[in-house]
Structure 1
Amino acid sequence: MIKINFNHYQATINELGAQVTSLYDQQNEHEYVWQGNPEYWRYQAPILFPFVGRLKDDEYIYQGKAYQQTQHGFAREKEFTATKPAENKGVFELISDPDTLKVYPFKFKLVVIYSLDEQGLHIEYQVTNTASQETLLFALGAHPGFNVNLENFDDMQVRVTPNKTYQQIPLDGPYNNYEHQKKIDLTEPLRVSHDLFNNDAIILDLDNQPVELTLSRSNDNHGVKVNINDAPFVGIWSPYPKKAPFICIEPWWGIADNLNSDNQLEHKMAINRLAAGDTWQNGFLIEPF
């Protein structure tokens, strides 16, 4: 485990999956990150790479060869190499190896940088195509879970700024049904209930525009703001029908396969393309209050 500190906040990151396991306010003794319980969900804040969501039939085809891959890719199960260059900063690195190449035939380096400052916890992703010629095809997503008092679950709300009407991408089973988007009015906060997630995640089409999602109770002074500058999608999720004491706010640079996917990786919706030698970077901010 790597611990980073700034003022009275401490973040803990596990080398397994480079997953945040704690964001703790030592002054107010308040834990913001879901602490994990396999009865509900065994993860806490996994990194989704090289896929976000599920592939149709858990399979994709690239250059005529079929590959099997489970939901959200393999990074969340991989050991990252960690360094701590400063008291408030941790750097985690995952490099393609013979095992990853068997299920994902691309050479890559994934770097995840966590840093704490007066704004909160910054998470930065860097994906480098380490191949000599081949274009890298990938998706990446974040999946942090935030603690919610189960007794007060129905008092929670998510305020999306800008406050406006967004396009919502429905799911048909585990696959996106982009062709049947609907409008969701977020001029007022989204009231949370367990039934809200009876068809899995609420997925907003952000069109890569900056947004801020604030998770809180209307009458509480504790919550989190998730600031996203440049992501095509965000998911809001909690398990259903289980009644779990957490809610995830998930910036995504990718999405589950479309309902009508032909499994061809080069046709996959919202896939990112990165030329040999190039680096893609993006990220978001978790601001506790």
Structure 2
Amino acid sequence: MKQDGSVFTLENEELLVTIDRRGAELTGIYDKKAGREILWKADPSVWGRHAPILFPFVGKSFEGKYLCDGTEYEIMPHGFARDMEFEPVLCDMDECWYRLKDTPKTYAVYPFHFELEVGHRLTGRVIEVIWRVVNPDSGELLFMIGGHPAFQTPQGKTIYDYTLSFNKEGSGAEESAQQLHYLAPNENGYQEERRSGTLQLKDGQVPITKGFFDAALTYMFDDGQVSSVGLLVDGKPYVTVSCGGFPYLGVWTMEATHPFVCLEPWYGICAPDGYAGELKDRPGIQKLNAWGTWEKSYSIRIE
């Protein structure tokens, strides 16, 4: 482990990984064998992030507002954790942990006490991302959390050289395994039932072609259908995100410039269009009992 200001580095013979205290964000995955960076470079003129952590919300609340115990609050899309300074807890050669606690400022927009610990563990060519949410209070904690890693296209390639490769959870007919149901946001960023659909696969794969994201600005696969999703480049494995047990997975890009594709494991989802109900009843909300601890992880494998 190396420390350079607010950035920590994990390194082995295969990979060099950097994590920033701001947002506990994974900011680099350099493949030493192939001599190339895998994560998007966060060009602010395009999209100025690498792999932000979405907490305590995933996506937008309707009109930027939500209701909790009868009181209305305003919250930015994806919550506030991605823009806050985390406290280093443990960092060594192949693992580091950060912690974020509530503050008066967070409590004003999100009326819960919480502790969020984020870990990154490097093993060979795999980075495991671990989330641990602690409820330090006597009441129930309501939250969402999600990953948002962006994988840039290799030099000389575009997103149209990518193929998505899916492994589905559960068992069922072979025919059903060749399609995935998805939800999709409207132009305002809210779920809209008429935009949902089915993505057809062949041998578990679908190429990204021009217009692929016209059907869904973001593909939001629900019901825990996806246990892993990979990007193939010219038919060869490039990167794989494993997220078994996650209820949602998002796939997104900025197709106008198409420099990257995001593979996003979520415990939560954007609000339905027009949703004005209580936060506890919103689709995708996670509930943590008093004094409880919630822990989940996903992994990124560089192929």
TM-score relative to the length of structure 2: 0.89
Matched, 1:259 2:273: yes
Among 243, 260, 283, the alignment partner of 1:246 is 260
State the Cα distance separating 1:41 from its structure 2 match. 0.5
Report Cα offsets for 1:236-281 as digits up to 9, x if no partner: 10014x2131110000100000124114212211100101110111
What amino acid is aligned across from residue 191 of structure 1 in structure 2? P
Matched with 1:47 is: 53
Q: Are 1:194 and 1:243, in contact at CA under 8 Å, matched by a contact in 2?
A: no
Distance 1:177 1:239 in 2: 20
Matched, 1:228 2:234: no
Matched, 1:141 2:146: yes
Matched, 1:284 2:298: yes
SS in 2 for 1:171: coil
Q: Could you say what the CA RMSD is over the residues aligned between the two structures, in angstroms?
A: 1.8
Q: Are 2:186 and 2:195, in contact at CA under 8 Å, matched by a contact in 1?
A: no
Matched with 2:186 is: 172
Q: Are 2:159 and 2:261, in contact at CA under 8 Å, matched by a contact in 1?
A: no
Distance 2:142 2:243 in 1: 22
State the Cα distance separating 1:172 from its structure 2 match. 2.2
Q: 1:234 to 1:120 in 2, by over 3 A?
A: same
Q: Are 2:100 and 2:115, in contact at CA under 8 Å, matched by a contact in 1?
A: yes
SS in 1 for 2:211: helix
Among 116, 128, 131, the alignment partner of 2:134 is 128
Distance 1:288 1:276 in 2: 38
State the Cα distance separating 1:7 from its structure 2 match. 2.4
State the Cα distance separating 1:176 from its structure 2 match. 1.1
Matched with 2:4 is: none
Distance 1:115 1:264 in 2: 36
How many residues end up aligned between the 2 structures?
A: 285
Distance 1:275 1:119 in 2: 36
TM-score relative to the length of structure 1: 0.93
Distance 1:53 1:178 in 2: 16
Matched, 1:86 2:92: yes
Q: Are 1:4 and 1:11, in contact at CA under 8 Å, matched by a contact in 2?
A: yes
Matched with 1:6 is: 12
Report Cα offsets for 1:126-157 as digits up to 9, x if no partner: 011111x2100000000000011464321211
Report Cα offsets for 1:221-241 as digits up to 9, x if no partner: 6x100011111110110014x
State the Cα distance separating 1:219 from its structure 2 match. 4.2
SS in 1 for 2:300: strand
Identity of aligned residues (%): 27
Distance 1:10 1:119 in 2: 10
Q: Are 2:17 and 2:30, in contact at CA under 8 Å, matched by a contact in 1?
A: yes
State the Cα distance separating 1:179 from its structure 2 match. 7.0
Distance 1:265 1:216 in 2: 38
Matched with 1:214 is: 230
Among 241, 252, 265, the alignment partner of 1:237 is 252
Distance 2:126 2:153 in 1: 19
Q: Are 1:40 and 1:244, in contact at CA under 8 Å, matched by a contact in 2?
A: no
Q: Could you list the runs of 5+ residues in structure 2 that have no partner in the other structure?
A: 1-6, 169-176
Distance 1:9 1:212 in 2: 21
Distance 1:195 1:263 in 2: 35
What amino acid is aligned across from residue 206 of structure 2 in structure 1? L
What amino acid is aligned across from residue 90 of structure 1 in structure 2? C
Report Cα offsets for 1:8-38 as digits up to 9, x if no partner: 2111001000111101122321111111111
Among 214, 220, 223, the alignment partner of 1:203 is 220
